[in-house]
Chain A
Amino acid sequence: MEYSLKLIVGAIFINNILLAKFLGNCPFLGVSKKMETAIGMSGAVVFVLTLAGVITWVVEHALLKPNELEYLRTLAFILVIATLVQFVELFLRKSIPALYKSLGIFLPLITTNCAVLGVAIINIQKGFSLLDTILFSVASAVGFGLALILFAGIRERFETTRIPKPLEGTGIGLVTAGLLALSFFAFQGMI
């Protein structure tokens, strides 16, 4: 129980996937200009990351490990993730159109979100059990969402602020992300 709690708190706050591990930074800067898109992206990531974490764990332990094909991990995982994203897109469009409408445009972007592949590989490298994999994937995705939504909240204010000319756009975004990372940095030493 204690271990699980540590795993969850660690993944959300201390080793936040965006701000401490630097995974998934392209969508972080790309879709954080508006709050709505940030929320949509976070939802899509929570959904896909959890599914991908579980399925890649099963692929590793049922297919790759017994056949000693670990060196194909990268190739196998990215294929699984790309297929999964396509499948989720089709499934949502058919059965839950409302959800598809809010998440739809973000789904294709997730294939190249390194957070998904990154977490899948971390799960294997750390030798997690299936339960730990689920917990870690969900917690990482929640951490991603938290950082993305906080950042979007700050970034919305840029429109009414005077920013030095050379820093406009991505430059000030990165500096702000640095300050946000600094605030998450304060959680270090909690566990």
Chain B
Amino acid sequence: MSASVLVKEFSKGLWKEIPPFRLVLGLCPALAVTTSAENGLGMGLSATFVLVCSNMLISMLRKVIPSEVRVACYIVIIATFVVCVEMITKAYFFELSESLGLFIPLIVVNCIILGRAEAFAKKNPVLPSIADGLGMGLGFTLSLTILGSFRELFGAGTLGLLFGDKVFLEQPFGFLQQAPGAFVALGLMLGGMNLLGRWLGR
């Protein structure tokens, strides 16, 4: 196992297959919790934790789990880690767990996690699976944080994650904080990414 393989598996999640843009999965949390950069970051890190742990465990057990019942096994493994995250956020990050609410238990059905288990962890050794999970998770975190910053900065006029209570826009564009704004912002960001990708000649 050479280091270059690990780097490759890790880095593909950050640009080439970055979720939820290139890999169009996990849209619900990406739309719902990105009203602020802080929530986006929290959601991304929670999902990353579950993704890395589940990828690792599924890859370890890949020769034990019979393929007929694999999806059920994966779901049990993922749900176990999600329950851990639920308890950890409730105990140590109570405000975050209040604002993410329903979307923490819903990490179970985040298609990215089951998708990576099915597409990668079930046929690769442990180390590349961890690298894959970490890369995808951080890519997801990055996307959510950027989207959250955008919506918070222009929709509410603040950027709590970096600048506390400082107000940047006196009359923010409130539409971006509402439900329809989430769809439009994500759609336009996707378009922007495609444009940038083409401009870079990939």
Whether A172 contacts B187 in the complex (CB less than 8 A), given A22-B31, A117-B108, comes out as yes
Report whether B180 and A178 are in contact in the complex, using a CB–CB cutoff of 8 Å.
yes
What residue in chain A is nearest B194 (Cβ atoms)? A166
B182 CB–A CB distance under 8 Å: yes
Q: Is A182 in contact with B180, judged by CB distance below 8 angstroms?
A: yes
A102 within 8 A of B: no
For A116, A164, A182, the residue with the greatest tally of chain B CB atoms inside 10 Å of its CB is A182
CB proximity of B112 to chain A, nearest CB, Å? 10
A4 close to chain B: CB less than 8 A: no
Give the A interface residue count (CB, 8 A): 44
Report the bound CA distance from A114 to B111 in whole Å: 9
B72 on the A face (CB < 8 A): yes
B45-86 Cβ-contact flags toward A at 8 Å (1 or 0): 000000000000000000000000001100110011011001
**What is the total number of residues of chain B having a CB less than 8 Å from a CB of chain A?**
42
Q: Flag the segment in B5-13, B21-29, B121-129, B149-157 that touches A.
A: B21-29
> Nearest Cβ distance between residue B135 and chain A, in whole angstroms?
21
Q: Please state if A118 and B190 are interface contacts (CB–CB under 8 Å).
A: no
For the complex formed, measure the closest distance between the CB of A175 and the CB atoms of chain B, giving whole angstroms. 4
Question: Is chain A's binding surface mostly helix, strand, loop or mixed?
Answer: helix
Query: How many Å lie between the Cα of A117 and that of B83 in the bound state?
Result: 14
Asked if residues A72 and B83 are in contact (CB atoms below 8 Å), the reply is yes
What separation, in Å, do the CA atoms of A6 and B83 have in the docked complex? Answer: 33
Contact assessment for B183 and A185 in the assembled complex, using a CB-CB cutoff below 8 Å: no
Bound form: Cα–Cα A29–B21 in Å: 13
Query: Which of chain B's residues have a CB closer than 8 A to the CB of A170?
Result: 24, 187, 190
**Which stretch, A40-48, A75-83, A89-97, A135-143, touches the partner chain B?**
A75-83
Interface of B is mostly: helix
Determine whether the beta carbon of A29 is less than 8 Å from that of B106.
no
Check A113–B109 contact: CB distance below 8 A: yes
A174 at the A/B interface (Cβ < 8 Å)?
yes
CB–CB A178/B183 < 8 A: yes
Given contacts A74-B82, A171-B191, A178-B181, contact A25 B105 (CB under 8 A): no
Rounded to whole Å, the gap between the CB of B40 and the closest CB of chain A is 14
Contact with A along B150-182 (1 / 0, CB 8 A): 000000000000000000000000000011111
Chain A residues with CB under 8 A of B105: 73-74, 117, 121
Give every chain A residue within 8 A of B182 (Cβ-Cβ).
Answer: 22, 178
- Contacting pair A75 B80 (CB below 8 A): yes
Could you say which residues of chain B place their CB within 8 Å of the CB of A164? 191
Residues of chain A lying within 8 A (CB to CB) of residue B194: 165-168, 171
Most buried by B among A82, A170, A174: A174
Whether A26 contacts B186 by the Cβ 8 Å rule is no
**Given the interface contacts A19-B179, A117-B108, A175-B188, does A74 sit within 8 Å of B86 by beta carbon?**
yes
11 examples of A-B residue contacts, CB within 8 angstroms: A22-B28, A25-B28, A72-B83, A73-B105, A74-B108, A75-B76, A79-B79, A112-B111, A114-B28, A117-B108, A179-B184
Q: A111-B71, A171-B190 are in contact. List 19 more A-B contacts (CB 8 A).
A: A22-B27, A71-B83, A74-B79, A74-B83, A75-B79, A78-B79, A82-B71, A114-B109, A121-B106, A166-B195, A168-B194, A170-B190, A174-B190, A177-B187, A178-B182, A179-B184, A181-B180, A182-B180, A185-B178
Kindly list the 10 A-B residue pairs having the minimum CB-CB distance in the complex, ordered from nearest.
A174-B187, A178-B183, A178-B184, A22-B32, A175-B187, A166-B194, A181-B180, A182-B180, A25-B27, A74-B105
